[in-house]
Amino acid sequence: MRKLSILLLQRIVLGVVTALAVSIVIFFSVQLLPGDFATAILGQSATHATVSALRAQLGLDQPSPLRYLHWIEKLCRGDLGFSFSGWSPTGARPVSEIVLPRLTNTLFLASLTAVIAVPISLVLGITTAIHRGSWYDRFANLVTLGAISFPEFFIAYLMILVLSSKLGIFPSIASISPDSSFIDKVHATLLPALTLTLVVTAHMMRMTHTAIVSLLTQPYVEMAHLKGLRRARIIILHILPNSTAAIANVIAFNLAYLVVGVVIIEVVFAYPGMGQLMVDSVTSRDVPVVQACALLFGGIYIVLNLCADVASILSNPRLLHSR
């Protein structure tokens, strides 16, 4: 138990260090964005003195390392800062008020996709591994390879063409509001969720397939076959428990992608999520919002990978012992 606690603590410390490194990369990468917000809001005809005064009010005239330290200090207090958009000398809108509703929408889209994609991926991965070499296995692999090969925006526009323009089943624009009912949100979000499902299922199914196939050749599985155990019993009692770590890593990685990699899908479907907000903020040079979105994306990715590491440790006792 003590070794397990130490191992988990090491993973948590590593996650914190990674988050700090990600914050450094995010902050200084955002500083490299072309253009200047003060010039953008005042216009090209503004005098140098006016631009300098606005930059001073926004804190943009300070050295980058000092601004980073101030940013980290505020983050430790749960303060994401104020948005530059709609800024006025009398006040500005907090970034949290802008980002959190969009984060909720993105998590809703990711959750809906996960509910559809994870069971389908696991079933396809397990069944194709059991029937490997059959026509079913070859057909499933052909379809998944095709889904992986096409870019996301192509699949999205193809889904819009077929399911929205031709059949009229779903709206082409995934417009939702806080007042929308759960059913309305699901109906509006289902088309981008199905698009993400096609992309994510292919990867999860193939990785699950690989994990199961590698275990089917293990000596203890062959011994179970020789003892006359049914295939379903062997898979449920012997193969699946030993493949938990690999499958948990695959699921965590793809769930992280669902949250972090939805930018293209949200832009195509005009979905009011974090990805769309981040693109709009980059266009308007709203640096605090861009930093907050990137940091939340990075934090979610780190947390989900940390959960995958913990699941691997708990499901594989060999990781607790030194070799």
Q: Which residues lie closer than 8 Å to 169 by C-beta, 6 or more apart?
A: 163
124 CB neighbour count, 10 Å cutoff: 23
**Which pLDDT does position 321 carry in this prediction?**
58
For 79-97, what is the mean pLDDT?
73
Residue with the two structure tokens 């993400």: 196
DSSP state of 90: T
Residue 285 tokens, joined: 């040079």
Secondary element (H or E) of residue 293: helix 287-315
pLDDT tens sequence across 135-175 = 888 888 888 877 778 888 888 888 888 888 888 888 888 88
pLDDT tens sequence across 239-265 = 777 777 777 777 877 787 777 777 888
**Which pLDDT does position 227 carry in this prediction?**
81
Cα separation of 149 and 143, whole Å? Answer: 10
Q: Which residues lie closer than 8 Å to 245 by C-beta, 6 or more apart?
A: 311, 312, 315, 316
228: left (phi over 0), alpha (psi -120 to 50) or beta: left
Instruction: Give phi and psi for 82, each to the nearest 5.
Output: -120, 145
Task: Provide the pLDDT confidence category of residue 127 given band limits of 50, 70 and 90.
Answer: confident
Cα separation of 215 and 49, whole Å? Answer: 70
Q: 295, 103 in Cβ contact below 8 A?
A: no
pLDDT tens sequence across 21-69 = 888 888 888 777 666 666 666 666 667 777 777 777 777 777 778 888 8
Indicate the residue type of 229: L
Delimit the domains of the chain by residue range.
98-293
DSSP 19-61: HHHHHHHHHHHHTTSSS-HHHHHH-TTS-HHHHHHHHHHHTTT
Residue with the two structure tokens 């948990």: 248
Lowest mean pLDDT among 54-58, 269-273, 282-286: 54-58
**Which pLDDT does position 244 carry in this prediction?**
74
**Which pLDDT does position 37 carry in this prediction?**
64
Instruction: Give phi and psi for 168, each to the nearest 5.
Output: 65, 30
Instruction: Give phi and psi for 46, each to the nearest 5.
Output: -70, 145
22 CB neighbour count, 10 Å cutoff: 17
270: left (phi over 0), alpha (psi -120 to 50) or beta: left
Cα separation of 194 and 182, whole Å? Answer: 17
* Selection from 296, 129, 301 nearest residue 211 by Cα: 129
Rounded-to-10 torsion of CA 79, 85, 88, 91: -30
What class is the 98-293 domain? mainly alpha
Helix (H, G, I), strand (E, B) or coil at 88: strand
Residue 67 tokens, joined: 């601004």
Residue 276 tokens, joined: 């769309």
Task: Provide the pLDDT confidence category of residue 20 given band limits of 50, 70 and 90.
Answer: confident
What's the predicted TM-score (pTM) here?
A: 0.80
pLDDT tens sequence across 175-191 = 888 787 888 888 888 88
pLDDT tens sequence across 211-238 = 787 777 778 877 887 887 777 677 777 7
**Which pLDDT does position 1 carry in this prediction?**
61
Helix (H, G, I), strand (E, B) or coil at 270: coil
